[in-house]
Amino acid sequence: MRTFIALAALVLSAGNAFSQSFPSKPVRVVVPFAPGGGADVVARVLSPKMAEFLGQPVVVENRAGAGGNIGAEAVARAPADGYTVLVATAAQAINHTLTKNLSWDLIKDFTPVAGLVQNQTLLAVHPSVPASNVRELIALAKRQRLTYASFGNGSTAHMGAELFKMMTGVDMVHVPYKGAAPAVNDLIGGQVNVIFCDIAAILTQVKSGKAKALAVGSTSRFSGLPEVPPVAEAGVPGYEMGGFLALVAPAGTPRAAVDAINAATRKTMDLPEIKQRLESLAGIPIAGTPEELGAFLKAEVDKYARIIRTANIRAD
């Protein structure tokens, strides 16, 4: 018993020492995409203030490739000490099911740390499409063949449209593009009829009248387009779609490190200037506890798995 008590005290004192010393060196935030994208921009908006709260530099590192899989694998295999975290996105939740033989599992190989933002999705059509709301679009799609653009097979734009099809019973033809820019360009050019798109990628075209906004994918309205209702409110109850950004660490990362990064993240996202910047990027803050993030990630993986299997989506 004395030996057990001594060991327990030793473990407790080691944990307290780790809690008091973390972080003692820079924290590396791995973005699994190239510089300039949404995940990269948000990470670089948050990192300076997070560094102030942590008392150590927060270094953003881009590890792009394989649809976000290379960066995710690098973090999954990194030491579980809190000094390496991943900006996880909907791509990882989708790839969890879409990509076969992955070397990592989003739920088993990572520890949830902190939610960042949920990206607003916009259901938009070319101005020539004779539908001014979601119900009219559904009726139109049941009468004639419509096409929808995506950012590529397995992208959130693809998933958003397929979920819409599943929940409404309509059929639309998928036209995949290699990224947001060509997809939006062909929508405003009239080559395709419909798109489910990150608001940030199409807001300018909506404001100029080159695209017509019908609904947002979130359950709440977007402040930049307050007159546009959610899809769930406009005719498809229960519909919700949007990308997300969150911080996760290698499985087994000490709770003290998780709590320290979570606290710094939440304090950063509570700053008025940060809230304003994220809003300009059409991001809805989802900072919360690690447990809340864990439940959210599990729900996202399950949602995308259901869409992928029902629509029989295959990786490129």
pLDDT digits over 2-58, tens only?
A: 554 445 444 444 445 555 689 999 999 999 998 888 899 999 999 999 999 999 999
Domains with residue ranges and CATH for the chain: 26-118+242-311 (3.40.190.150), 121-216 (3.40.190.10)
**315: Cβ–Cβ under 8 A, 6 or more apart, which residues?**
98, 99, 100, 153, 154
**208: Cβ–Cβ under 8 A, 6 or more apart, which residues?**
none
195-231 tens-digit pLDDT: 999 898 899 999 999 999 999 998 888 888 999 999 9
Ordered per-residue pLDDT tens for the chain, 316 residues = 555 444 544 444 444 555 568 999 999 999 999 888 889 999 999 999 999 999 999 999 999 998 899 999 999 999 999 999 999 999 999 999 999 889 999 999 999 999 999 888 999 999 999 999 999 999 999 999 999 999 988 999 999 999 999 999 999 999 999 888 899 999 999 999 999 998 988 999 999 999 999 999 988 888 889 999 999 999 999 999 988 999 999 999 999 999 999 999 999 999 999 999 988 888 888 889 999 999 999 999 999 999 999 999 988 7
**149: Cβ–Cβ under 8 A, 6 or more apart, which residues?**
157, 175, 176, 177, 183, 184, 186, 187, 192, 194, 195
Collapse the DSSP code of 6 into the 3-class scheme (helix H, G, I; strand E, B; otherwise coil) and give the result: helix
Q: DSSP secondary structure string, 168-214?
A: H---EEEEE-SSHHHHHHHHHTTSSSEEEEEHHHHHHHHHTTSSEEE
**275: Cβ–Cβ under 8 A, 6 or more apart, which residues?**
269, 285
Token pair of 87 as six digits: 């900006």
**Region of 36 on the Ramachandran plot (φ > 0 left; ψ -120 to 50 alpha; else beta):** left
Q: Omega before 23 cis (within 30°)?
A: yes
Angle among Cα 228, 234, 237 to the nearest 5 degrees reads: 130
Q: How far is CA 90 from the centre of its chain?
A: 4
The pTM is what? 0.86
